[in-house]
Structure 1
Amino acid sequence: MAAEEEKFRNPSPPAHETREETAEKEAIGDTVYSKRWILRVLMRLAREEADSSDLEADLEDSLCQLWDSATDKDVVEFLLQFDAIEVTMKVIDTTSKPRLKEICVGILGNMACIPSACKEISLEISKLTSILGCGDPPTLLEAIRLFRTCLYDKEVGSRWLSELQNRQNQDHLLFILESSLNVELLVACGNLINDGFDMDDSLVDSMANHEQCIRAMCEALTQVRESDHSRAGIFVTMLHFLTTTETSVKAITDSSSLVLPIVSDYVTSVSSQIEIEEIEADLSAASSLLQVLLSFPLVKREKINSHLIESLRMIAKFVKPKFKDSITETVQLLLEKKQN
């Protein structure tokens, strides 16, 4: 009889889930981010109007959290399932709100750390590199960070390297070096160019053909040195790259009257401001650069700074042996030039 009753009774209600169990089902991977929350933020972003009104504070806060979360592989894979790149690119294309554009580019920059996302983001490469021409420093900083991340991707990095050969992109980067007062932006831009130079010698020649190339690099070196001695060496390395090909050597020696005093000032100033061991590679690059400039017949002895000679002598006492010989040789060239 009991079995017969059991057959016809209503089924038992489902077991009540605890908050912890519900949260665990909602969470993306091992993160604290819930699927529902991320979808809600994406939907708000997709509905964001392309007007010039200020970005709402609560939306900005949510987007910044999404930005932070986009470093996690599980979150990125979830975002890809719901066309987050397409949504974000639409906002980048249409918004007139600089902060919103900065955040969206930053989200893509974090997502690009995951190869599958980097590959999909690279389908928008032309639109993304065009951001280099915008006038908003925070957005430019994020665009350059995205560029560098994609540049090192094994599958699509070559496509981004080819974008550095694009004349318009080069114009944008050199304009930043020549005109920006933002040290973080200058350093980021310098690192991107140096990465490209290190990967492709032909890029060195391509950049050297720009009339404003040397001037822009020297402006950036001067600007950063005045604010942060320790990071100015990025631009000495950049100028040193211009001594590695026949075309670029001509460009830099033709500008020796501009480059020599600026590099000399860098060496004399940083040698008294920073621990030599921290920047010895930069100082070695400066020494090699000076050697090339000093070999140029039109460099006159009155251009030789006595303080530079003393600074290099002092530096040679503290650097590793592999750098010491080059610096000592530079001192000898300076002395010979000064005597002639």
Structure 2
Amino acid sequence: MKNGTRTVEEETNKQSRSPESIAADAVKGDVIGSTAYSQRFVLNCLIKLTDVENVESASEFIEKDLCTMWDMTTEKDVSKFLIEHDAVEIFNAILISSNNNRLLEVILGTVSNMSCHKDVTVDIKQKRAFAVNIFTHLKSADPLLLVQVLRFALTIIYNDSTDMNFWLACLRDGDFPSSLRFILENCANEDVLTNSLETLNCICSACNDDTKNTFIKLFIDEHFVTSLLTGFQEILNCIKETSSINKETEERCYVIFLAIIWAVINFDECLPLFNEESNEKLFTHANMIIETAWSNENDGILDIMEYVTGISSALNFPFSNSSIKICVTFMRVWKDLIDSYDNKINSDFEDPDFIDNMKKEITPVLTNYFVRIVKLWPLEKVNELFKDFETKHVFKLKSSIEECIENKIVDTYYADVCFTLIESINK
């Protein structure tokens, strides 16, 4: 084109193009970024959403078009396109005025998908009132809606964990902490409870020395441990009664529960929250988790045992019925490691590599645990616990202690007492 007019050659080329070629260019001009999704479709959805009253009763539009747009937001280009066309303002107006839980669920699910993209997280962060509004919906009684609120909190904080002061303030203004505590204490829906644990763990993990005090002020009170134990017990009830939680999710819940306890117990201000009654429940759960993970040959057993050992240490290895059961279970694991490693052919474990992988990692954890209880527990009870150890188990323990001392994993202060016990067992 020259001076605003087409050349004869350009006109000829245009007229000679096939209808298919022209249509292809038209479609290409309608796609969003590098995706195959239509700009026109998304814009039509946004336009219809501005008429909240009609949208609330348009179930076909919600179930078909909006759910399609929800799926589309797994693509970053689509999420960015929505941000660029004021979707946040439109979504926020719906969250404020709509009473249609299904519509709210779809909108929140769409925003949760959008927040999975770090670039979009930055954009959403600029709309603070929108984020706070989402957090207020954790007061809803609709389980599906609650799951999406929790997903949003999890993804947005995970993607922007370096600014926890900002997000803790948003959570506070949305009354998120008290709503989460209410869920843990009263909810019986497994999806809501498992997502609650995931989100709480994410928040705990993101807090550091600078944000610790704010986190404690918002989330931790005298009922926190009881609330957490109640929520976890309800998850166990769901697993037992319905079996609808798959094994991977179940095992993930176990690890997250212990991770939350471990994170909280490392705050000195929180130690007084753990009393004799709560410790008994905690260690009962912990023993069940270890037994289940070991029986299922779960690769997460190392994390589980490290958490349990760390929690026990933080509480100064309390001596109780439940902690004794943990010790017995640890001893069973130790014997299984030694026996199965020495006799792989006749091992009861389905995965022949499981013992090889676990022995090197778990042995120091168990050794550290054993030498501590020998020092801190009544000697008579310790002797009784160790009586089922055969000579080879005792010999391996002694070798492991020596190795752990060399690698500075075990304090010689505790090891000397354990050596004395080993010598008495050998006699």
Q: Establish whether TM, by shorter chain, passes 0.5.
A: yes
What is the aligned counterpart of 1:63 among 57, 62, 66?
A: 66
Q: Secondary structure at the match of 2:53?
A: coil
136, 146, 156: which is aligned to 2:142?
Answer: 136
Structure scoring higher RCO (CA < 8 A, sep ≥ 6) equals 1
RMSD value, Cα:
3.1
User: Please, which moves more after superposition, 219-228 or 44-53?
Assistant: 44-53
Shifted more, 330-339 versus 161-170: the winner is 330-339
In the alignment, which of 176, 192, 213 is matched to residue 185 of structure 1? 192
CA distance in structure 2 between the partners assigned to 1:166 and 1:256 by the alignment: 34
SS of equivalent to 2:74: coil
Number of corresponding residues: 324
Question: CA offset at residue 164 of structure 1?
Answer: 4.5
- Cα distance, 1:57–1:259 mapped onto 2, change above 3 Å: farther
Aligned match for 1:325, one of 367, 390, 394 = 367
Shift, 1:28, TM fit: 1.5
Indicate how the Cα distance of structure 1 residues 304 and 64 shifts in structure 2: closer, same or farther if over 3 A, else same: closer
**1:188-231 per-position Cα deviation (integer Å, ceiling 9, x unaligned):** 22222222222223355335741321111101222223415412
Unaligned runs of 5+ in 2: 1-6, 240-244, 338-357, 383-427
Change (3 A) 1:160 1:329: farther
**Aligned equivalents of 1:268, 1:333: Cα separation in 2:** 25
Letter in 1 for 2:144: P
Look up the match of 2:301: 279
Question: Which residues in structure 2 correspond to 1:117-136 (within 5 Å)?
Answer: 117-122=120-125, 123=127, 124-136=130-142
Question: Which amino acid letter does the alignment assign opposite residue 222 of structure 2?
Answer: E
Look up the equivalent residue of 2:135 and give its one-letter code: T
Supply the distance in 2 between the matched residues of 1:338 and 1:102 (Cα, whole angstroms): 59
Residues 94 and 50 of structure 1, relative CA distance in 2, 3 Å threshold? farther
Counting aligned pairs with the same residue, the percent is 18
1:92 is paired with a residue whose SS is helix
How much has 1:103 moved relative to structure 2? 0.8
Deviation at 1:248, TM superposition (A): 0.4
What is the TM-score with the length of structure 1 in the denominator?
0.82
Q: Of 79, 84, 96, which aligns to 2:82?
A: 79
Change (3 A) 1:61 1:52: closer
Pairing partner for 1:206 from 206, 211, 217: 217
2:288 to 265, 268, 273: 268
Work out the CA distance in 2 between the residues paired with 1:327 and 1:238: 21
Deviations 1:232-290, CA, capped at 9 Å, x for gaps: 231122122222122101112xx331232343243235414432532321232122223
Specify the SS of the correspondent of 2:116.
coil
Residues 17, 134 of structure 1: alpha-carbon distance in 2 compared, 3 angstrom cutoff: same
Is residue 112–residue 118 contact of structure 1 (8 Å, CA) maintained in 2? yes
1:98 Cα offset (Å): 0.8
Deviates more, 1:143-152 or 1:101-110: 143-152
Cα distance per residue 1:163-192 (max 9 Å; x no partner): 356693211111112222222222222222
Q: Which amino acid aligns with 1:163?
A: C
- The partner residue of 1:37 within 38, 41, 59 is 41
Relative to structure 1, the CA distance from residue 275 to residue 335 in structure 2 (aligned partners, 3 Å threshold; closer, same or farther) is: farther
Please report how far the alpha carbon of residue 306 of structure 1 lies from its aligned counterpart in structure 2 after TM superposition.
Answer: 4.6
| Residue type at the aligned position of 2:143 | P
The 2-side partners of 1:338 and 1:147 are apart by: 50
What is the Cα deviation at residue 57 of structure 1?
2.6
